[in-house]
Chains A and B, each alone.
Chain A
Amino acid sequence: MKLNRIDGKRVSLQQYLTKGPILINFWATWCGPCKKEMLHLDRLALSYKNEGFSILSISIDTQRSFSEVKRYVRTKRYNFDVFIDPNQQVFKKLNGNIMPTNILVDEDGSIAWMHYGYMPGDEINMEKEILKVLNQ
């Protein structure tokens, strides 16, 4: 699977999986809970970076509000790579239906955990799942 990175480059998912497990996070600038979750995603990306873990944050904002995504992400200086999926093809392919959707993929490409929505405290459960995959 190939993704469109925010800098205009097309990047293969495999490129990240060779380093270790990945967490795919779907979000949008109009989604309040998604933005709340981002602080925690940033911390998790930084904490487990050395173990080869990476977070791929995919915005499903349409192309019509793409500039807002760029500014939001660059100002916040997150420790994860941000991609765009304006016509929601990756979102549909990975069965995302609710915002935010988080999918944890282990090194061999299998889905280890998936979660719809965000409630404060979900990041604790998410971290446990990441550690499970990293310790396998």
Chain B
Amino acid sequence: MKSIAAKFLLVLNSFLFAQLNFTGSYVSSFGDSQNDFNYFDNRININGNWNNWNAWIEFEHSNPPELGLKKIGLRKLRIDYSGDNYTIKLGDLYEFWGNGLVLNMVDDQSIDLDTGVRGGLFSYFKDKYTIETIVGNQKTWRSTNQAPAFDERIPNYQINNNVYAAKFSSNMNSLINEFYFMKIEDNHYLPIARKTNLVNHQLYGFNSIYSSDVFDINLEYVLSADEDRAFYLNSNYYLDEMSIGISYKNYLFDRLSPYSRWDFVNNPNGALFIQQMPTVFRSHSSLYLGRITHQIDYNDEVGFSLAFEQMLKNNGSFIFYFSQASRHDEWASIRRDSLSIYEWTITNSTSLMPSAEWMYNPFKEYYFELSGYLDSKLFYQIAYGNNQDVTDIFSSQYSEQGHSYSYEMIQARTIPIMISYQINEKNSINVQIEYQKIKKGMYSLNSALNSKGEIFGSSFEKNHQINRFISIGYSQSPKWSLSINIDNANTDDAFAIQKGRNTNFIESALNQFFNKSLTWASMDLVYNTFNSTQLSISYGSQRGGVYCSNGICKYVQPFENGFKFGITTAF
């Protein structure tokens, strides 16, 4: 009895005197514009730890949010316990396995993508071996025009998956091998039929990583029960101050016609949202290159990239990057019977390498970048990007007269330049200049009128769109920075519904240099009150357009003549 009491007192003592720590952060953003792009987002994150226990709670008050659904209350909650050779997690899980070909849970608020799972994780590790299991439910919201109340800003379709996954891994010095299994029960809602079907997915995966001082290779292969597959390979070679990298992807989960390739509502057998796989093209820091990012098709894409990096003096570097991708199949409308009914049908295929022919929705990018320091005071980054992307195929028909077709292509040349000059210990000037020439439009050919050849119809009011971005900033470390940003285009989208817009005083003042109706100007002030508190105020307009984060793109509406306030603080 005495022994039990002593043990109880020992446990109680460790409970009472163990160190209990709480940290947290608060992020608030407010926007009020003349075109009703208004938002008020607040998030509080609290992290606590006590002995081997960790807790994470996130509260949200967003009414309305910048992107996504309105939320007031508890957003995320998780409790973890870590023992000597095991870990238990309960609540909102964000895990990734390998390269994400099977499972990659992300919470990217910038594009309103949350692929987290609410459930439990158990991980047991001994020596070089680990076993991990995850059981839970994933509820993810997406915007789609295949469900009622479509809005790019507010998602209108819920994905509801039960997730059962297991992993075994061995970690032998320079070689890591992992095996995965995942079963998904997709409670798939069909808005037109107004019913929910249960769709089962089973994935089996293998991932292997070998690393040495001069060479590394990583390959991952995933096969589904329906024999759909994904393969990813990345290998890098390091020679003194130079590196060469090769990446290859071959994703084939569903073959969908050009009309239905983005329709995940009526095609439930494709890649899952929990699979966030490598894009195998570069993620850019440039504003304009970001706007024309290729939108990856996880259902059907084959491609590769080559990268070369050479270190230069003063921490400088030269980067060359080339990437190419396409779909696996050529689709054409084939006449099925005498009733003149045409059906999209696969007419040709490529299996291992991407095709450069427009019928395969090809994408190609060349990118060069030179960056470094001069005398530790002047930082420079000069780049050049050349992109070509067939984004849509509207028609493709073979007949006795020949091949009639129409497709949309974007061709762009972009030069982003970033310069930062440190005047003295505290003060610096920062300049960002970007130039982009875009040719975007529909190429079409009617074989019945073959004499005219291929016709190009620009998406803009002119043949090319020229975009110019200038940002001039002054900063005084560590307290504040002020910048003026001007984004100008020479022409608007020919199909823009709303022509003309309200202009602000900066745009009016610059009217003699830049046409104010095609200029979006803003001023930003950032102030660090304490080391871990930052305030930001912005006035002006921001151009709408596609915003991409690692190949996942979302249209963000323009923000016209308004104020934005932001507070970020840690406590």
Residues of chain A in range 18-70 having any CB-CB distance to chain B below 8 Å: 29-32, 35-36, 38-39, 42, 61-68, 70
Shortest B528–chain A CB gap in Å is 7
Q: Which residue of B lies closest to A87 (CB)?
A: B94
**Contact A115 B315, CB 8 Å, known A61-B283, A95-B45:** no
Residues of chain B in range 271-294 having any CB-CB distance to chain A below 8 Å: 276-279, 282-285
Q: Does B307 sit at the interface, judged by CB under 8 A?
A: yes
Write out the residue numbers on chain B whose beta carbons fall within 8 Å of the beta carbon of A94: 23, 47
Residues of chain A in range 77-120 having any CB-CB distance to chain B below 8 Å: 77, 86-89, 92-95, 97-98, 111, 113-117, 119-120
Write out the residue numbers on chain B whose beta carbons fall within 8 Å of the beta carbon of A76: 311, 315, 317
Q: Does B148 sit at the interface, judged by CB under 8 A?
A: no
- Whether the Cβ atoms of A97 and B276 lie closer than 8 Å is no
Q: Which residue of B lies closest to A120 (CB)?
A: B428
- Whether the Cβ atoms of B241 and A75 lie closer than 8 Å is yes
Q: Which residue of A lies closest to B116 (CB)?
A: A87
- Whether the Cβ atoms of B234 and A67 lie closer than 8 Å is yes
How many chain B residues have a CB neighbour from A under 8 Å?
77
- Whether the Cβ atoms of B279 and A64 lie closer than 8 Å is yes
Chain B 409-427 against A: per-residue CB contact (8 Å), 1 yes, 0 no?
Answer: 0000000001010100111
- Whether the Cβ atoms of A8 and B171 lie closer than 8 Å is yes
- Whether the Cβ atoms of A87 and B315 lie closer than 8 Å is no
Chain B 303-331 against A: per-residue CB contact (8 Å), 1 yes, 0 no?
Answer: 00001011100110100000000000000
Q: Does B404 sit at the interface, judged by CB under 8 A?
A: no
Shortest A103–chain B CB gap in Å is 9
- Whether the Cβ atoms of B94 and A89 lie closer than 8 Å is yes
- Whether the Cβ atoms of A125 and B478 lie closer than 8 Å is yes
**Contact A30 B283, CB 8 Å, known A42-B315, A71-B236, A121-B426:** yes
Q: Which residue of B lies closest to A118 (CB)?
A: B477
Q: Does B104 sit at the interface, judged by CB under 8 A?
A: yes
- Whether the Cβ atoms of A75 and B528 lie closer than 8 Å is no
CA distance A119 to B481 in the complex (A): 8
How many chain A residues have a CB neighbour from B under 8 Å?
49
Chain B 232-251 against A: per-residue CB contact (8 Å), 1 yes, 0 no?
Answer: 00101010011101010000
Other-chain residue from B25, B99, B238, B279 in contact with A95 (beta carbon distance below 8 A): B25
CA distance A2 to B159 in the complex (A): 32
- Whether the Cβ atoms of B570 and A38 lie closer than 8 Å is no
- Whether the Cβ atoms of A64 and B570 lie closer than 8 Å is no
Residues of chain B in range 539-565 having any CB-CB distance to chain A below 8 Å: 550-551
- Whether the Cβ atoms of A74 and B422 lie closer than 8 Å is no
Which stretch, B187-195, B373-381, B459-467, touches the partner chain A? B373-381
Write out the residue numbers on chain B whose beta carbons fall within 8 Å of the beta carbon of A119: 428, 475-478, 481
**Contact A38 B315, CB 8 Å, known A61-B283, A121-B425:** yes
- Whether the Cβ atoms of A63 and B422 lie closer than 8 Å is no
- Whether the Cβ atoms of A62 and B550 lie closer than 8 Å is yes
**Contact A95 B570, CB 8 Å, known A39-B373, A111-B23, A121-B477:** yes
Write out the residue numbers on chain A whose beta carbons fall within 8 Å of the beta carbon of B476: 119, 121
- Whether the Cβ atoms of A75 and B475 lie closer than 8 Å is no
Shortest A50–chain B CB gap in Å is 22
Additional A-B contact list (14), CB under 8 Å, known A93-B54, A121-B427: A29-B283, A38-B315, A39-B314, A61-B283, A63-B104, A65-B283, A67-B236, A74-B236, A75-B241, A75-B243, A75-B309, A92-B47, A95-B23, A116-B531
**Contact A74 B243, CB 8 Å, known A36-B420, A68-B307, A120-B379:** yes
Other-chain residue from A38, A61, A63 in contact with B99 (beta carbon distance below 8 A): A63
Write out the residue numbers on chain B whose beta carbons fall within 8 Å of the beta carbon of A117: 526, 528, 534
Q: Does B164 sit at the interface, judged by CB under 8 A?
A: no
Write out the residue numbers on chain B whose beta carbons fall within 8 Å of the beta carbon of A66: 99, 234, 278
Q: Does B100 sit at the interface, judged by CB under 8 A?
A: yes
- Whether the Cβ atoms of B209 and A92 lie closer than 8 Å is no
Other-chain residue from A62, A92, A98 in contact with B568 (beta carbon distance below 8 A): A98
- Whether the Cβ atoms of B176 and A8 lie closer than 8 Å is yes
CA distance A30 to B243 in the complex (A): 19
Shortest A13–chain B CB gap in Å is 12
- Whether the Cβ atoms of B309 and A71 lie closer than 8 Å is yes
Other-chain residue from B379, B420, B478, B568 in contact with A97 (beta carbon distance below 8 A): B568
- Whether the Cβ atoms of B315 and A86 lie closer than 8 Å is no
Other-chain residue from A8, A87, A95, A97 in contact with B96 (beta carbon distance below 8 A): A87
**Contact A121 B310, CB 8 Å, known A62-B276, A67-B245, A88-B107:** no
Write out the residue numbers on chain B whose beta carbons fall within 8 Å of the beta carbon of A75: 238, 241-243, 309-311, 317
Chain B 17-42 against A: per-residue CB contact (8 Å), 1 yes, 0 no?
Answer: 00000011101000000000000000
Q: Does B211 sit at the interface, judged by CB under 8 A?
A: yes
- Whether the Cβ atoms of A87 and B426 lie closer than 8 Å is no
Across the A-B interface, the 8 shortest Cβ-Cβ residue pairs: A121-B477, A95-B25, A120-B428, A95-B570, A114-B532, A119-B475, A87-B94, A39-B315
CA distance A9 to B125 in the complex (A): 13
CA distance A76 to B242 in the complex (A): 9
CA distance A88 to B243 in the complex (A): 27
CA distance A97 to B307 in the complex (A): 30
Q: Which residue of A lies closest to B169 (CB)?
A: A8
Q: Does B216 sit at the interface, judged by CB under 8 A?
A: yes
Residues of chain B in range 409-464 having any CB-CB distance to chain A below 8 Å: 418, 420, 422, 425-428, 430
CA distance A102 to B247 in the complex (A): 31
Q: Could you list 17 examples of A-B contacts with CB < 8 Å?
A: A31-B285, A32-B285, A36-B420, A39-B373, A61-B283, A62-B108, A63-B99, A68-B283, A70-B245, A75-B310, A87-B94, A98-B568, A114-B532, A116-B528, A120-B422, A120-B430, A122-B478
